[in-house]
């Protein structure tokens, strides 16, 4: 399988800005056939991504979803609504949603199942909250992962993309995790989900400098990029590292 290189814009970029972003990104990544790519704009700009990316090699999706298909859930967005906008990837359980919206592993599992039931690919984020020894981090993440994954039908588990995102490595003022730490964690995640064989991608302060040594690790199946990918030229440079 090709490496998977993606980004979430988080709460950044209007639909007008997303259009401009794709105008720059599109020609830069069209020749990069060695990787699969996705972008996750805010809900308000998914329609613009669909308009600009249709027929291109970059997929698009959403940063969250409600687990119900419809109903009295003010402000929420459902899986069928995302399918209608051509989404193929949906991020679930990012640490900022766990922190800001109190999302539990159980609630996250409901969302993962909703995404799978509607034929899209969930990107399930996991990661230890603070820097700690790799063995302890692996224990934490294994428990967190299984707490969600044991609620997913066995035959569907391989379709879930796991994003390993150590919380301490995410966001302004943080640095990417050491490639050896990432490799050990990814190997542990693959071990825990033995038999399912999902893609496991790394996220946390990836940029054009840190991408290569991390992507070069044996158990790293791709990268999930935040801040650095808000610059389409840098995002294209990161994708260009995948061979």
Instruction: Write out the residues near ligand PEP by the rule CB under 6 A.
Output: 165, 170-171, 174, 203-206, 224-227
Task: Compute the least distance from the CB of residue 177 to ligand PEP, in Å.
Answer: 10
Q: Using only the alpha carbons of the chain, give its radius of gyration.
A: 17
Residue 186 phi, psi (nearest 5): -65, -40
Nearest 10 degrees: CA dihedral of 221, 119, 125, 31? 40
Between CA 153 and CA 5 the distance in angstroms is: 26
Q: Which is nearer to ligand PEP, 83 or 171 (CB)?
A: 171
**Strand 161-164 with 58-62, pairing:** unpaired
Task: Compute the least distance from the CB of residue 149 to ligand PEP, in Å.
Answer: 19
Q: Is residue 43 left, alpha or beta, with left meaning phi > 0 and alpha meaning psi from -120 to 50?
A: alpha
Structure tokens at 39: 């972008």
Task: Compute the least distance from the CB of residue 179 to ligand PEP, in Å.
Answer: 15
Place of tokens 């699969």: 36
Measured at CB, which residue is nearest to ligand PEP? 226
| Active site members | 94, 165
Give alpha helix (H) positions in the chain. Answer: 15-29, 46-53, 79-84, 95-101, 105-117, 134-149, 179-192, 211-215, 232-241
Task: Compute the least distance from the CB of residue 108 to ligand PEP, in Å.
Answer: 15
Q: Which is nearer to ligand PEP, 76 or 96 (CB)?
A: 96
């Amino acid at each position: 399988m090709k490496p998977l290189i993606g980004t979430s814009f988080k709460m950044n970029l209007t639909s007008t800005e997303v259009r401009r972003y794709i105008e720059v990104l599109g020609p830069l990544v069209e020749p990069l056939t060695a990787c699969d790519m996705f972008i996750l704009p805010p809900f308000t700009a998914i329609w613009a991504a669909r308009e600009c990316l249709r027929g291109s090699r970059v997929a698009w999706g959403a940063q969250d979803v409600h687990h119900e298909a419809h109903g009295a859930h003010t402000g929420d967005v459902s899986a069928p609504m995302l399918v209608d906008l051509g989404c193929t990837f949906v991020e679930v359980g990012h640490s900022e949603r766990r922190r800001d919206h109190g999302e539990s592993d159980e609630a996250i599992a409901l969302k993962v199942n909703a995404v799978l039931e509607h034929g899209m690919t969930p990107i399930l984020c996991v990661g230890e909250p603070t820097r700690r020894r790799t063995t302890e981090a692996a224990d934490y993440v294994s428990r967190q992962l299984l707490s969600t994954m044991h609620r997913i039908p066995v035959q569907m588990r391989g379709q879930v993309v796991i994003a390993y995102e150590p919380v301490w490595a995410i966001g302004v003022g943080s640095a990417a995790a050491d490639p050896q730490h990432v490799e050990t964690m990814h190997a542990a995640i693959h071990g825990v989900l033995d038999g399912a064989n999902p893609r496991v991608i790394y996220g946390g302060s990836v940029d054009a400098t840190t991408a290569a040594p991390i992507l070069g690790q044996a158990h790293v199946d791709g990268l999930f990029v935040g801040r650095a990918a808000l610059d389409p030229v840098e995002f294209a440079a990161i994708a260009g590292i995948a061979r």
